[in-house]
Amino acid sequence: MTRAALRLMAVLAHPDDESLAIGGTLARYAGEGVGTFLVTATRGERGRNGESRDTSPAQLGALREAELLEASRVLGVSEVHFLDYPDGSLDQMDPREAVARIAAHIRRVRPHVVLTFGPDGAYGHPDHIAISQLTTAAILAAAGHDQIDRPHQVSKLYYIAWTKNKWDAYQAALKTLRARVDGVERQATPWPDWAVTTVIDTGDYWPAVWRAVSSHKTQMSIYRNLESLSDERHLALWGSQEFYRAFSLVNGGRALETDLFEGLRCRSSQGIAA
């Protein structure tokens, strides 16, 4: 990868977030020759192993790590790193330390574009909300000066932004996603259509997304309804992905983007975007 090559980094909370949330986007840009990098905060060790309740957290974490690495291979991800935080407790970690660690990855990889969850955490999941806040802060930290690494200024930050139509299709195929936090039930709150700034066409990549999702075998008791979906239904789920452009140093306005690297490609071809 040359220094001028475009680079995309996703910073997410759990194994399977990369496939379910942005699998088509990762596969599309990897297929275009963009360097795609993934940082995952936890190993999802508090999840489930199918219907089994006998797998220890350590064993499940190891299984889910292997599943994520396989899914990332299917999606063409260039590099995967784990932050090694405990599943379900990301919002209780030392924020300064977590921000510094994410910022170190940003400075090392030097991505032009960063993707993460929105401040809503998709359906209020505390880990999703925490990784959104930590990543946003880390972008600011990575641009500052210190005595260790060269600073790096990210050009664009995007939040994952599911609309009502996408949530309806997703939850009809799977289940209603809920999170109970502090005794209060949280559910998915779709982004209004007018708030979406960017829609990525991933229609050619849904078979790769499905293979990546299927790599998460410990979770297939949840995803098994997807196996019987027609190609048309799979396309409805994975054929496009929506984002909110939280900030951009290279473009703006109300016009709907169809490329996360809008405003960057000409600069990259001239060798000055890195």
What is the tens place of the pLDDT at every residue in 227-262? 777 788 778 888 999 999 999 999 999 999 999 999
Q: What is the mean pLDDT of residues 46-67?
A: 82
Closest CA to 98 of 173, 41, 153, 23: 41
Each domain of the chain, given as residue ranges in start order, spans: 7-268
In tens, the pLDDT along 205-214 reads: 999 999 999 9
Six-digit token string for 199? 């829609």
Residue 217's nearest CA partner among 47, 78, 87 is 47
CATH topology of domain 7-268: Rossmann fold (3.40.50)
Question: Which burial class, exposed, middle or buried, applies to 220 when counting CB atoms under 10 A from its CB (0-12, 13-18, 19+)?
Answer: middle
Element housing 231 (H / E): helix 231-238
Q: What is the pLDDT of residues 87-141, one digit of tens each?
A: 999 999 999 999 999 999 999 999 999 999 999 999 999 999 999 999 999 999 9
Q: Which two tokens stand for residue 68?
A: 């994520």
The tokens for 67 are: 């599943």
CA atoms in the 13 A half-sphere facing the CB of 273? 24
Q: Are 180 and 238 within 8 A, CB to CB? A: no
Q: 271 vs 22, which has greater pLDDT? A: 22
Average pLDDT taken over every residue of the chain: 90
Q: Which residue type sits at 76?
A: G
